[in-house]
């Protein structure tokens, strides 16, 4: 932690930002969270500052049990219903039939295909009508996130990275101070938690997100929700995507 003075300033700044976001986007504001510590802190802050907010999470069908438990724990604590965003069943079936259930270990484009079908597309469909959403991104999470802005207005909906300036320690201390529920996988050495087959615990000295898609290089380790993949990966994934969609269309005929 930075010390009490900085914590107070950080919290005040974040509270002001949440209030401003509420004033600008009103009922079109949401939180999209994977129920890691950052997401729960965002839910807690939004409930305190705004009195309520739409909360959405992506259930890819490959989530660890600890994350599924978190959905229920957060719902119980705040008396809310978290919207589960799920992939299109026909797309998942066609992808698995073509490339196998664990295709992501084969190549970055295949992993990108899986992330697109299980996460990126379902989220894009679910965000229709959402004007802006809070994320749990922090600059300290990895090299690829070091320049994350507070308000990302590059696309629609607007992404609000309200915790961009928080450290992992700030988040952990807020969690402890307010008795927030947390994913039990943190107790097993995980520092970032995604789909079960694509996440492992991290070792001392590793990047917080080193356990995500650990078999890939650093630059590839984003799922497309927050960053565009490199053009090459995207183009190859597009070809794979077209094949899967063609299979879906064939089956529907
Ligand atoms: S994290 Fe892994 S299992 Fe989850 S959507 Fe991406 S590739 Fe698929």
Residue 220 pLDDT class (50, 70, 90 cuts)? low
Residues 6+ apart with CB under 8 A from 228: 234
Strand-pairing partners, residue 56, are 32, 83
Using the predicted structure, report yes or no on whether residue 230 has a pLDDT greater than 90.
Answer: no
Q: What is the pLDDT of residue 226?
A: 56
- The answer to whether residues 63 and 86 touch, using CB atoms and an 8 Å cutoff, is no
Strand-pairing partners, residue 33, are none
Report the domain count for the chain.
1
Using the predicted structure, report yes or no on whether residue 35 has a pLDDT greater than 70.
Answer: yes
Q: Tell me the residue length of the chain.
A: 253
Residue 252 pLDDT class (50, 70, 90 cuts)? confident
Q: What separation in Å is there between the alpha carbon of 179 and the centre of ligand 1?
A: 30
Q: What is the pLDDT of residue 203?
A: 92
Query: Measuring CA to CA, which residue among 186, 179, 215 is closest to residue 201?
Result: 186
Report the nearest-CA residue for atom 6 of ligand 1: 115
Give the ligand 1 atom nearest the CA of 118: 5
Q: What is the CATH number of the domain that holds 166?
A: 3.40.50.620
115 flagged as catalytic: no
Using the predicted structure, report yes or no on whether residue 221 has a pLDDT greater than 60.
Answer: yes
| Rg value, the chain, Cα | 18
Domain span at 56: 4-252
Q: What is the pLDDT of residue 41?
A: 97
CA distance 87 to 174: 33
Using the predicted structure, report yes or no on whether residue 234 has a pLDDT greater than 80.
Answer: no
Q: What separation in Å is there between the alpha carbon of 58 and the centre of ligand 1?
A: 11
Q: What separation in Å is there between the alpha carbon of 147 and the centre of ligand 1?
A: 24
Report the nearest-CA residue for atom 4 of ligand 1: 195
């Amino acid at each position: 932690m930075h010390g009490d003075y900085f914590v107070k300033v950080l919290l005040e700044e974040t509270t002001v930002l949440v209030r401003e976001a509420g004033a600008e986007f009103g009922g079109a504001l949401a939180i999209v969270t994977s129920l890691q510590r950052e997401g729960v802190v965002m839910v807690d802050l939004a409930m305190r500052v705004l009195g309520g907010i739409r909360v959405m999470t992506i259930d890819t069908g490959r989530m660890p049990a600890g994350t599924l438990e978190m959905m229920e724990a957060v719902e119980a604590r705040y008396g809310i219903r978290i919207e589960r965003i799920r992939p299109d069943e026909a797309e998942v079936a066609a992808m698995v039939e073509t490339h196998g259930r664990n295709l992501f270990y084969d190549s970055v484009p295949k992993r990108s295909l899986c992330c697109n079908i299980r996460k990126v597309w379902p989220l894009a469909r679910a965000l229709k009508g959402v004007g802006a959403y809070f994320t749990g991104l922090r600059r300290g999470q990895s090299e690829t996130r070091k320049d994350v802005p507070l308000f990302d207005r590059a696309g629609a909906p607007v992404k609000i990275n309200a915790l961009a300036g928080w450290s992992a320690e700030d988040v952990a201390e807020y969690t402890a101070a307010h008795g927030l529920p947390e994913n039990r996988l943190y107790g097993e050495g995980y520092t970032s938690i995604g789909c079960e087959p694509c996440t492992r615990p991290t070792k001392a000295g590793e990047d917080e997100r080193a356990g995500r898609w650990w078999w890939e290089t650093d630059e590839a380790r984003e799922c497309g929700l927050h960053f565009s993949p490199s053009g090459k990966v995207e183009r190859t994934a597009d070809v794979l995507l077209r094949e899967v969609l063609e299979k879906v269309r064939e089956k529907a005929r």
